[in-house]
C-alpha cells in the first residue's frame, strides 16, 4: 500500500472505498463491457445474465455519478443512450485485470480448498 501505516484502520483505507464502489457483480460486469466499447442499455441487459432492469439502471447511475461512465443521449426517435467508460474507469479496469489474472491462476486452488474444507467440516450425515 502507498501508506503502509495505520495497518488496521479500515475506515481510512481507500481500498475499502473501491470495494464498496465496485461491490456487487453488476458494477464490474458493466464496467468491463463499457471499457471495451460504448454500450447501450438494452445491449447490457442482454449481455449481463440475470440482471434486472432496476439494478442495471441503479448501477449505471452510480457509476455515472462516480465519474466512471459517461451517459450520452441521442435524441433520435427510438431513444438511444450510450454508456462510455471514462479514462478513470479504464485505469481501474487495468487493475481489475490484475485481479482477474489472480483469480484465474488460483481458481483451481480455491475450488480444491473449498472441497477439502467442506469435507473436513461435513455435517455428520
Q: Which residues bind DNA (CB under 7 A)?
A: 1-3, 24, 40-43, 45, 50-55, 57-58, 60-61, 71, 78-81
Q: Cβ of residue 77: shortest distance to a copy of itself, in angstroms? A: 25
Q: How far apart are CA 84 and CA 65, in angstroms?
A: 13
Applying CB under 8 A, the site for a copy of itself has a residue count of 60
Q: Cα separation of 68 and 70, whole Å?
A: 7
Q: How far is Cα 25 from Cα 90, in angstroms, rounded to an integer?
A: 17
Q: Which of 52, 57, 72, 112 binds a copy of itself (CB under 8 A)?
A: 112
Rg (CA), the chain: 19
Provide the β-strand partners of residue 74.
80
Is residue 29 within 8 Å of 83, Cβ to Cβ? no
Q: Which three cell numbers stand for residue 121?
A: 467440516
User: Going residue by residue from 21 to 40, which x/- string records binding to a copy of itself, judged by CB under 8 A?
Assistant: xxxxx--xx--xx--x----
Backbone phi and psi for residue 51, each to the nearest 5 degrees, phi listed first: -80, 145
Q: How far is the CB of 78 from a copy of itself (least distance, A)?
A: 22
Is residue 72 part of the contact set for a copy of itself (CB under 8 A)?
no
Residue ranges binding a copy of itself (CB under 8 A):
1-3, 5-25, 28-29, 32-33, 36, 47-49, 64-67, 88, 91-92, 95-104, 106-107, 109-115, 117-118
Amino acid at each position: 500500500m502507498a501508506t503502509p501505516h495505520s495497518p488496521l484502520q479500515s475506515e481510512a483505507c481507500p481500498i475499502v472505498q473501491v470495494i464498496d464502489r465496485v461491490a456487487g457483480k453488476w458494477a464490474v460486469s458493466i464496467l468491463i463491457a463499457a471499457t471495451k466499447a460504448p454500450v447501450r442499455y438494452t445491449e447490457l441487459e442482454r449481455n449481463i445474465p440475470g440482471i434486472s432492469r432496476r439494478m442495471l439502471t441503479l448501477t449505471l447511475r452510480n457509476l455515472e455519478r462516480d465519474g466512471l461512465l459517461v451517459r450520452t443521449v441521442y435524441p433520435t426517435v427510438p431513444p438511444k443512450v450510450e454508456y462510455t467508460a471514462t479514462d478513470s474507469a479504464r485505469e481501474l479496469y487495468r487493475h481489475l485485470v490484475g485481479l482477474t489474472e489472480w483469480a484465474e491462476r488460483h481458481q483451481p486452488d480455491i475450488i480444491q480448498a473449498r472441497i477439502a474444507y467442506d469435507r473436513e467440516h461435513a455435517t455428520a450425515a
